[in-house]
A = this chain, B = another copy of it.
Amino acid sequence: MTKRLAEVAKKAGVSEATVSRVLNGRNGVSEATRASVLTALDVLGYERPTKLRGERGRLVGLVLPELQNPIFPALAEVVTASLAQRGFTPLLAARTIGGVPERDYIEMLLDHQVSGVVFAGGSYALADAEHGHYRALTDRRMPVVMVNAGVSDLGFPHISTDDAVAVEQAYGHLRSLGHERIGMVMGPEDHVPSRRKLAALEGKEIQVERTNFSMESARLAAAKLIDRGVTGMICASDVLALGSIRAARRLGLDVPGDVSVVGFDDSALMTCTDPPLTTVRQPIELMGQSAVDLLVNQIEGSGVEPDELLFEPELVVRGSTAPARKRY
């Protein structure tokens, strides 16, 4: 058995040094050689030796888009607990408005020699942003799991709520209450879960407004929808739903009397809102645990196919939806 790195080097027809550079994402390697090294790496199924794998570190990056929306702390809690149980420690990378760009976070995590990374929250950056820095992850064979996130073409396993089912539940609920003009308050155009939700209702007559994920921006979007005569709104998150409720009230309308609102997530405290929010629950605990399972499996070597695990959401009916009022 020849030396491990050397073997790869021979296969690729380069020196060990060059392979090392590729592995660490250093520059000073031409695009052509980098590619050939990567395929050689792939063919031989190279794995980093224990000592460099951060086996000692047992750190895992946890990348969240924000912490204002309670669903993300909830996920963080599950993931943290699950990781701790298996002897890993989460490195928290929460993006903030105007904060550090995602690429820097990834770099930071790589610097700290994390054994893996959990991305959560379908940050829109994941969809449209240049994928350069994700390649740094694939190049290093970094175990990655994405929760409700985009970028499906990188070969990472995904954990997602079934957006199609979720949105159909919400839509069906509103229809069965007699709502005919239904609107959606979604995330940005390149937010993958929002895209999927829209796709699921393809063909139905639906008004759509996009927002970033702030309550205020949701208020604006919802106001526009109401202006167009919408009586039922499906929102891409609970926070957006709360913003939509606020919009209705600003216009002198009652929720759920005049306008019905359905949220998404069923994050904490939604039973305490005014009115209690009807929402589609994500099985966040299960999802968090599965994410950790998948990640640890990758880390410990047992291969994982880059599949997507779809979890079934569940409609929770509370007080923000009611039969449509006939408009005369």
Contacts and interface: CB of A to CB of B under 8 A. Distances in A.
Nearest to A268: B68
Given A90-B92, A92-B90, A112-B54, A74 B81 contact: no
A194 B176 CA distance: 49
Nearest to A242: B272
Contacts of A245: 272
A72 B70 contact: no
A198 interface: no
A313 to B, nearest CB: 21
Interface string A82-96: 001100011111101
Interface stretch (A55-63, A152-160, A166-174, A226-234): A55-63
Interface in A230-283: 239, 242, 245-246, 268-269, 272-276
Nearest to A98: B81
A67 interface: yes
Contacts of A239: 269
B94 A77 contact: yes
A108 interface: yes
A268 B70 contact: yes
A13 to B, nearest CB: 26
A276 B249 CA distance: 14
A29 B39 CA distance: 43
A108 B89 contact: yes
Contact of A269 (B74, B85, B92, B242): B242
A89 B73 contact: no
How many copies the complex holds: the figure is 2
Contact of A73 (B70, B105, B111, B246): B70
Given A89-B109, A242-B269, A272-B274, 7 more contacts: A59-B91, A67-B73, A68-B77, A70-B70, A80-B94, A89-B112, A274-B276
Nearest to A269: B269
Contacts of A246: 272
A274 B113 CA distance: 46
A31 B197 CA distance: 63
Contact of A92 (B74, B91, B112, B113): B91
A203 interface: no
A100 interface: yes
B112 A94 contact: no
B112 A56 contact: yes
A242 B85 CA distance: 31
Contacts of A84: 93, 99-100, 105, 108
A66 interface: yes
Nearest to A84: B100
A40 interface: no
Nearest to A277: B272
16 contacts: A55-B112, A56-B113, A59-B91, A67-B77, A70-B73, A72-B73, A73-B73, A77-B94, A81-B96, A84-B93, A90-B92, A91-B92, A245-B272, A246-B272, A273-B273, A274-B275
A292 interface: no
Nearest to A238: B269
Contacts of A147: none
